[in-house]
Amino acid sequence: MPDISSDARWLSIVGIGEDGRAGLSPAAAAALDAAGLVVGGARHLALAAPLRAETLTWPSPIADGYAAIEARRGRPTCVLATGDPFHYGVGAELARRIPAAEIAAYPQASAFSLAAARLGWSLPEVACVSLHGRSFERIVPHLQPGARVLALSWDETTPVRLAALLVERAMGGSEVVVLEAMGGPRERVRRARAEGFGLEAIDPLNTVAITVTAGPDARIVPLVPGRDDDWYESDGQLTKAEIRAITLSALAPRAGGLLWDIGAGSGSIGIEWMLSHPTNRAVAIEARADRVERIAGNAARLGAPDLRIVAGRAPDALAGLPAPDAVFIGGGATVAGVVEAAWAALPAGGRLVINAVTLETEARLAALHAQHGGTMRRLAVSRLEPVGGMHGWRAAMPVTQWIGVKP
């Protein structure tokens, strides 16, 4: 590890709690007092008072504040943040702009750590989710039977919204604990059931702890690909559950991967790609406006609200998109330029998976196999259905699938 001189560390990032200056270590307090500029939210600046330095309250947009900090490079500057600045905090964003060798960080316990300590919960066994400045529905996949979840709230309305969501999904027996202003004189911990939740005058600075109790009809998002078709609203343009599970396996998601779902239909492939790992991203490309709206609803319902949806036709709609790690084409493989654009965008080792149900598209896949190699397979599924007073097998249209891996 290289020797980093403390003189190079002109930017101090100080975690501050509700106990203000009293909770700072001597080193953190010294860094704060040595700064010529102190940046933070209005609450942070008030907690750190008295301050001799010039102060800057985070502007809107916050990027203007980053620019002001970068302009002071080499001069002592301090940024205040809540608790641990590198756990859903401003620290990570600053570190993307300023080399770590120029930063001195003084973290305190995060809200997750404080909440776990108050409740006696083992933090590694808890799902930790931030709903502060992030999509509310991202908590949905974590609502599993018996699960313990800690959620950073956006404001005083978040606990009420969470309780309503639990009731809506037949989890009304869940315990909801609201931990307010932890670590300071205003700290308060209150408990209620989701059903009949009636806590009032909730402090905007709060963290919510949920112990999930699921009823027999609870809407629990399964953990593996191939969720039941009834999870999705569709006009029939839906990759069915059995084929979807095989298709996700063919796409082989890896943590942090980006998928292009071309001709997304109901969005199921992109949604389940994102659900395979919390860092996965997907772009759903769909030409029809009604389907675009439907995709957004499906993504929110299954807990993948950050799915990016591009309204337009490939290949034109692909221009300017971030390069994918994998591409799925469920519709449009015979449109001129679509397959070529997808293949060109992939890196070495990237995967292109195409499903075909028509002879014309199947012929296109045969040509791709001849050109690029890869794997071809035909998938056939039959489901048991009533036939009069008895039952019989009804076959779905067979699907031909090509999997190409770019050399």
pLDDT number for residue 7: 63
Instruction: Examine the domain organization and report whether 365 and 305 are in the same domain.
Output: yes
- Please, which pLDDT band fits residue 4 given cuts at 50, 70 and 90? very low
Give the tens place of pLDDT for each residue, 180-237.
Answer: 999 999 999 999 999 999 999 999 999 999 999 999 999 999 999 999 999 999 999 9
Give residue 141's region: left, alpha or beta (phi > 0; psi -120 to 50): alpha
Give the end of a domain, one of 108, 131, 151: 108
> What is the percent of the chain with per-residue pLDDT over 90, rounded to a whole number?
96
Q: Which amino acid is at 77?
A: T
Instruction: Examine the domain organization and report whether 371 and 345 are in the same domain.
Output: yes
Q: CATH code at 80?
A: 3.40.1010.10
pLDDT of 3 over the 60 cut: no
- Span 235-261, average pLDDT: 97
Residue 222 belongs to a domain: no
Q: CATH code at 116?
A: 3.30.950.10
- Span 333-340, average pLDDT: 96
Residue 224 belongs to a domain: no
Instruction: Examine the domain organization and report whether 65 and 119 are in the same domain.
Output: no
Q: Judge contact between 267 and 308, C-beta under 8 A.
A: no
Window from 1-5, 40-44, 218-222 with minimum mean pLDDT: 1-5
Instruction: Examine the domain organization and report whether 202 and 253 are in the same domain.
Output: no
Instruction: Examine the domain organization and report whether 156 and 178 are in the same domain.
Output: yes
Residue 220 belongs to a domain: no
Q: CATH code at 248?
A: 3.40.50.150
> What is the percent of the chain with per-residue pLDDT over 70, rounded to a whole number?
98
Instruction: Examine the domain organization and report whether 79 and 180 are in the same domain.
Output: no
Residue 98 belongs to a domain: yes
Average pLDDT of every residue of the chain: 95
pLDDT number for residue 331: 86
HEC letters along 24-73 = CCHHHHHHHHHCCEEEECHHHHHHHCCCCCEEEECCCCCHHHHHHHHCCC
Instruction: Examine the domain organization and report whether 314 and 187 are in the same domain.
Output: no
Residue 1 belongs to a domain: no
Instruction: Examine the domain organization and report whether 377 and 275 are in the same domain.
Output: yes
Instruction: Examine the domain organization and report whether 273 and 365 are in the same domain.
Output: yes
Give the end of a domain, one of 78, 108, 138: 108
Give the tens place of pLDDT for each residue, 88-123.
Answer: 889 999 999 999 999 999 999 999 999 999 999 999
Domain that holds residue 197: 112-211
First to last CA, the chain: 36
Q: What gap in Å lies between CA 327 and CA 168, rounded to an integer? A: 35
Looking at the structure of the chain, the number of domains it has is 3
Instruction: Examine the domain organization and report whether 267 and 400 are in the same domain.
Output: yes
Give the end of a domain, one of 180, 211, 242: 211
Here the contacts of 217-220 (C-beta below 8 Å, separation 24 or greater) are 217/170, 218/145, 218/169, 218/170, 218/171, 219/169, 219/170, 220/143, 220/144, 220/145, 220/169
How many C-beta atoms lie closer than 10 Å to residue 196's C-beta? 9
pTM for the model stands at 0.91
Instruction: Examine the domain organization and report whether 103 and 118 are in the same domain.
Output: no
Calculate the alpha carbon distances from 68 to 58, 78, 304 in Å. Answer: 10, 12, 34
pLDDT number for residue 1: 32
Residue 70 belongs to a domain: yes
Residue 374, classified by CB atoms within 10 Å of its CB into exposed (0-12), middle (13-18) or buried (19+), is middle
Instruction: Examine the domain organization and report whether 268 and 331 are in the same domain.
Output: yes
Residue 53 belongs to a domain: yes
Residue 217 belongs to a domain: no
